[in-house]
Amino acid sequence: ISIFIVSRKDYFMNRILSAFRRLNSFQIVVLGFACMIALGTMILMLPVSSADGIWTPFIDALFTAVTSVCVTGLVVRDTGTYWSEFGHVILVQAGGLGVVTLSASFSMISGKKIGLSQRSMMAESVASPKLSGIVRLTSFIIKTALCIELIGAVLMMPVFCRDFGLLKGIWMAVFHSVSAFCNAGLDLLGDRGAFSSLTSYAYELLINIPIMLLIIAGG
């Protein structure tokens, strides 16, 4: 029986791998986004992702995962008050850079060789017409994104640290810098009024100007 189970498992794994190899770059990118949405949904449903430590309904977690990955900025739960710090981390970065760019960055950091198929997917994800130099281009995108996000966070830190204290102020600056650069449309200011977004900083130039520049740069 055990030999039969192992053989069937190997059979199904080979079938899955064979089907995956037949996918073109565009299909793999789409599948990657679908997998990211599915994984994000499962994580956001967990009690650790909500501020009150409760299970989040599937439809709310699914909507939030989709809006995060696809950077629409539409929410059914107030981001700042409903989700925990862990949930905030899950929400903000992946959709802006893209699943292929993120996976490529992990490969580059770990020192793994990036093959032709992965280069093709990277080119597809950033709409590059050719494969030559795509690894350098992706590396440039990642480094530039992180540098711009860091600059944006530093510019907003004085205001957020003034209003929320040092540690929370730094986190608020980092989150909103990443959110703005990724065009995510998410904010953590619900404690000033649910779904109030940046309205409490309507006349704060040190918040408005960096946010606007980050949105433009990210776009």
Using CA atoms, how far apart are residues 56 and 175, in angstroms rounded to an integer?
22
Inter-residue contact 84 to 46 (CB < 8 Å): no
State the DSSP string of 9-51.
HHHHHHHHHHHHHT--HHHHHHHHHHHHHHHHHHHHHSGGGBT
Give the pLDDT confidence score for residue 5 in this predicted structure. Answer: 54
Give the pLDDT confidence score for residue 45 in this predicted structure. Answer: 95
Residue stretches of the chain with pLDDT short of 70:
1-26, 28-29, 93-134
Give the pLDDT confidence score for residue 141 in this predicted structure. Answer: 79
Give the pLDDT confidence score for residue 56 in this predicted structure. Answer: 96
Give the pLDDT confidence score for residue 204 in this predicted structure. Answer: 94
Looking up tokens 């990118």 gives 29
List the Cα angle 122/40/147 in 5-degree steps: 50
Give the pLDDT confidence score for residue 115 in this predicted structure. Answer: 61
Give the pLDDT confidence score for residue 184 in this predicted structure. Answer: 84
Looking up tokens 């501020």 gives 51
Instruction: Report phi then psi at 30, rounded to 5.
Output: -60, -45
Give the pLDDT confidence score for residue 158 in this predicted structure. Answer: 96
List, in order, residues 6 or more apart from 85 with CB less than 8 Å away.
171
Inter-residue contact 176 to 211 (CB < 8 Å): yes
Least Cα distance to 60 among 79, 37, 86, 41 occurs for 41
